[in-house]
Amino acid sequence: MTKDVGVVLAGLGEAPPSPGGSGRSGEAMTLTAIEAACDDAGLATTGIDAILKYSHDASISLQALAATLRCEELRFGLEGGSGGGTGPGLIDTARTLVASGAASAVLCYRTIVGNDWVARMNMPDEARPYYLDVVNYLRPVGWTGYLHSFASLYSEHAARYGTSREALGHVVSQLRANAARNPH
């Protein structure tokens, strides 16, 4: 068990969304969000020494990003390519890197270009065959998106662990309250 040694989530950034697509490239949106996060953290991009990326989307590779940001000493890089748990996994990896002394300023990012992502959901992809499972096997019987998938997962979780609808409702209410604090 490791002892936390002053690990802080210091900066958040996003490229403002725009309805109907903005024409911005995934790379441009990534750089906009990273600059905002570094400004929020009071950190120069050259001080980033580890980069963690959620792969399988339209974002720039971490090697190209490190060069573009002029990271002076990149000590660690990782691309995580799993599903919904990848985001929290990257945050936990960042915490572990800082707590262990392996890095001091870790950048975690993911870029989604909405129209491109929707198109990818309907195309063959050897790295993500489960997307086509949704298209070919679930939509014809009424499953049209992640909400249906998560409803099924909740049912299984509730059966195994006794999770109540009230507990799930509390989580949803807290997520909405947290989101409402975001002025964007």
> Which among 38, 99, 96, 98 has a CA at the least distance from the CA of 68?
38
Give the DSSP H/E element, type plus range, for residue 51: strand 50-54
**161 pLDDT above the threshold of 70:** yes
For 34-53, what is each residue's pLDDT tens digit?
Answer: 999 999 999 999 999 999 98
Q: How far apart are CA 22 and CA 52, in angstroms?
A: 26
Q: What interhelical angle do 26-41 and 62-69 show, nearest 10?
A: 60
For 59-92, what is each residue's pLDDT tens digit?
Answer: 677 888 899 999 888 999 988 876 667 778 888 9
> What is the sign, positive or negative, of the torsion defined by CA atoms of 13, 93, 54, 107?
positive
